[in-house]
Amino acid sequence: MNTVLVTGGSRGIGRATSLLLARQGWQVAVNYRSRIDEAESVVNAIEREGGSAFAVQADIADEQQVMAMFAHIDAEQGYLAGLVNNAGILFQQARVSQLSAERIQRVFATNVLGSFLCCREAVKRMAHPQGRGGAIVNVSSAAARTGAPGEYVDYAASKAAMDALTTGLSLEVAAQGIRVNGVRPGFIYTDMHADGGEPGRVDRLAPLVPMQRGGQPAEIAETIAWLLSDAASYVTGAFIDAAGGR
């Protein structure tokens, strides 16, 4: 059975992605940072539908925890053929002139360093000739294009860094049987906006979206699942904007 690691698979877009990938036949390693009940709820939902999943704790900003997470996955049955770098954080809306060094470092530690570390460990296992190949999807953001002025330029910059990781890594490993692609969601209904201090942000901004609405986590999951699947077998180094036309 092929295994996929979904970082931050316990809530929001990661939860929807874990559920969809399990329905498509993947064994899902549901990573979470601290809320074990949320991760176990995803695993239970997958098992109730007859799928296969297990929860795996790790703060992806911590290299030792990432190493332990991959060792845990190695110890399970199944070949790691997929990685969804989904875990990401942002903080209270603020201007650049108000940002502390500590905050910027925390954003980059999870969104950039964490994604790099997970890519590194996945590539070691997937790359030909030792590995059988695989696919990686990096969950970026439309903020990488817009810059998120007045809200979280630190977050936007971290997502732009993820996009450069996607481009560079896709070229490095294309001949080793690994595809690397990016998804840039727009305004999606999840708890993340509350972390920015505005739980109702998606509804406020929906009129600015050409499609006149926010997106659902399940709609992003579909895009991620397609890029991971064999249906996208000739697609690498590509980005899909799933942002309602924005």
Rank residues 76 and 198 by Cβ distance to ligand NAP and give the closer one. Answer: 198
Q: Which stretch binds ligand NAP (CB under 6 A): 44-52, 171-179, 180-188, 227-235?
A: 180-188
Contact characters 207-246, ligand NAP, x per CB under 6 A? ----------------------------------------
Site for ligand NAP (CB under 6 A): which residue of 31, 166, 170, 223? 31
β-strand partners of 79: 2
Q: What are the tokens at 114? A: 């964490």
Amino acid letter at 133?
Answer: G
Cα 146 to its chain centre, rounded Å, is: 19
Q: For residues 27 and 81, what is the distance between their CA atoms, to the nearest angstrom?
A: 10
**β-pairing verdict for 27-32 and 52-57:** parallel
Per the residue annotation, which of 79, 155, 189, 234 is the catalytic one?
155
The owner of tokens 């901004």 is 205
Identify residues 113-132 at the interface with ligand NAP (CB under 6 A): 114
Residue appearing with tokens 């954003």:
107
Tokens of 48: 């109730």
> Could you give the 3-state DSSP secondary structure of residue 203?
helix
> Considering the rule CB under 6 A, would residue 161 count as an interface residue with ligand NAP?
no
Is residue 7 close enough to count as binding ligand NAP by CB under 6 A? yes
Active site members: 155
Binding region for ligand NAP (CB under 6 A): 7-8, 10-14, 31-35, 38, 59-61, 86-89, 110, 114, 139, 141, 185, 187-188, 190-192
